[in-house]
């Protein structure tokens, strides 16, 4: 079977209008089998939720925290499973957190994401407790709140399974390594920055989304930091990020990286957050990581196998 046929449904599709992101931890007195069974029940419910509104492209994915995997599933683990990369020389705190589970909900309608979130909390009651919930939305023509198009480097939709899904790890084939970061933007500082400076920070033109020529692009531009070539091939991840925010409150980007290996994200993160080659990402002067965590999103059949 192809990895895509084994995978959870939210990993590879093109962007939706709305997303809901739930971070969860074990409830007191909960046993690992009970928590896993609750996640299996939730998966079944979310299948029904998705099937009930096909026109809205509802889809979902559930993952287990990298640091918590051995507690919940001590017998076997994905081959490359690792905690979120801790960079001792980071130019800014990464705010690394460890959590038990993560639920990613996607739809073309906000109310559908909210409905699925309600169903998730009900299904997990007594087993897992919600620690953070973030509602994301598509902003204008798929732009970040900075006004620049986001996800420009994403692979084409038909190429995403090859990038995002594990295909050489036995029972874990169809799974994906997920890294999640919630960034808080300093919108006032950004909005006061001249357009030309903004474009040099990103490495692209703002209005028409044209990448700067290599000779014009600063080495510290965001694009220059995260676009990495090895042996003539560009390293890729599948980004499923979305803006979030409240008027007068925090606003920014909830960044999601799905990949068949965690090493690609780790290399990008290192180039963003350290000066090991003399440069770091200038975008970090305008945003900060409020949280960072790592998960593995198992294949769909593995989720089902956790049912009691």
Which H or E run contains 92?
none
Largest distance between two CA atoms of the chain: 59
Cα 283 from Cα 267, distance rounded (Å): 17
Angle 32-51/110-124 helices, nearest 10 degrees?
A: 150
Cα 60 from Cα 9, distance rounded (Å): 6
Cα 10 from Cα 12, distance rounded (Å): 6
Active site residues: 150
Q: What is the DSSP string of 53-72?
A: -GGGT-EEEEEEETTTHHHH
Please answer whether residues 24 and 124 qualify as being in contact, where contact means their C-beta atoms are separated by less than 8 angstroms: yes
Tokens read off for 299: 């294949």
Is residue 245 helix, strand or coil? strand
């Amino acid at each position: 079977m192809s990895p895509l046929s084994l995978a959870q449904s939210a990993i590879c599709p093109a962007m939706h209008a709305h997303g809901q992101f739930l971070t969860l931890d074990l409830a007191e007195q909960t046993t690992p089998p009970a928590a896993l069974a609750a996640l299996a029940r939730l998966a079944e419910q979310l299948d029904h939720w998705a099937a009930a509104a096909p026109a809205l492209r509802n889809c979902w994915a559930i993952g287990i925290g990298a640091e918590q995997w051995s507690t919940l599933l001590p017998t076997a683990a994905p081959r490359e499973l690792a905690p979120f990369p801790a960079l001792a020389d980071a130019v800014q705190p990464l705010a690394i957190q460890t959590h038990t589970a993560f639920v990613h909900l996607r739809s073309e309608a906000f109310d559908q994401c909210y409905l699925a979130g309600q169903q998730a909390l009900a299904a997990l009651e007594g087993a897992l407790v919600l620690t953070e919930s973030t509602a994301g939305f598509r902003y204008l023509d798929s732009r970040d709140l900075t006004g620049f198009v986001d996800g420009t480097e994403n692979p084409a939709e038909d190429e995403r399974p090859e990038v995002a899904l594990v295909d050489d790890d036995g029972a874990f084939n169809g799974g994906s390594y997920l890294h999640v970061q919630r960034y808080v933007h300093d919108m006032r500082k950004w909005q006061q920055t001249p357009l030309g400076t903004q474009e040099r920070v990103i490495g692209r033109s703002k209005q028409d989304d044209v990448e700067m020529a290599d000779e014009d692009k600063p080495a510290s531009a965001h694009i220059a930091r995260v676009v990495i070539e090895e042996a003539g091939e560009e390293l890729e991840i599948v980004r499923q990020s979305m803006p979030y925010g409240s008027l007068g409150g925090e606003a920014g980007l909830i960044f999601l990286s799905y990949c068949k290996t965690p090493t690609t994200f780790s290399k990008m993160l290192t180039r963003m957050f350290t000066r090991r080659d003399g440069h770091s990402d200038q975008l970090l002067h305008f945003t900060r990581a409020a949280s960072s965590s790592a998960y593995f999103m198992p294949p769909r059949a593995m989720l089902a196998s956790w049912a009691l």
